[in-house]
Structure 1
Amino acid sequence: MEKEICTISITGNWLADQYTFFENNTIKRLSDHNSLTTNVIEWLKPQQISKQNKDKLVKNCPEEFKERIMQILDYP
């Protein structure tokens, strides 16, 4: 199993939206689509993440991981 870099939450309202970044450049998203569909796991590629969410991820990223996360996201 790949080593985890960090998990970043961009939760809005009461819905969970967390992204976990791994050393092999994979991204796992754990989200709640609505009150009936919770804890949905998706494996994403950077190009599948919207510019708006990339902005939020970089903004909420711990400083010590920011450079690595920006590389994975191909940001900006």
Structure 2
Amino acid sequence: MEKEICTIRIASNNCRRDSYTFYENGRIKRFCVQENLSPNITEWLDRSELSEQSKDRLIKHCPEELKEKIMLILDYP
């Protein structure tokens, strides 16, 4: 079973709430709570699929003690 590092929740334009869960093996799971009656979205992402703006926001909302780990997963400068 994959070991979870943390879940970071951020607001986005497309979703009422975006949650990104990071795993020790480098995987990233996104859960998007949609507006109105649209179905929610769950997807697995590669770090290359995240924009620099999304990475910035994720790091900004990341718990301080986990920032280094998350930055490595995101290949963040």
TM over 0.5: yes
State the 1:24 CA deviation: 0.5
Q: Does 1:43 find its partner at 2:44?
A: yes
- The alignment yields a C-alpha RMSD, in angstroms, of 1.6
CA distance in 1 between partners of 2:36 and 2:47 (Å): 27
State the 1:22 CA deviation: 0.3
SS in 1 for 2:20: strand
SS in 1 for 2:6: strand
State the 1:36 CA deviation: 2.2
Match of 2:56 in 1: 55
Question: What fraction of aligned residue pairs are identical, expressed as a percent?
Answer: 57
Contact 1:31 1:38 in 2 (8 A): no
TM-score by length of 1: 0.90
Q: Which runs of 5+ in 1 are unaligned?
A: none
Q: Which runs of 5+ in 2 are unaligned?
A: none
TM-score by length of 2: 0.89
SS in 1 for 2:2: coil
Displaced runs of 4+ in structure 1, greater than 6 A? none
Alpha-carbon displacement from aligned partner over 1:2-41 (angstroms, at most 9, x marks no partner): 0000000112477010100000000000003432224310
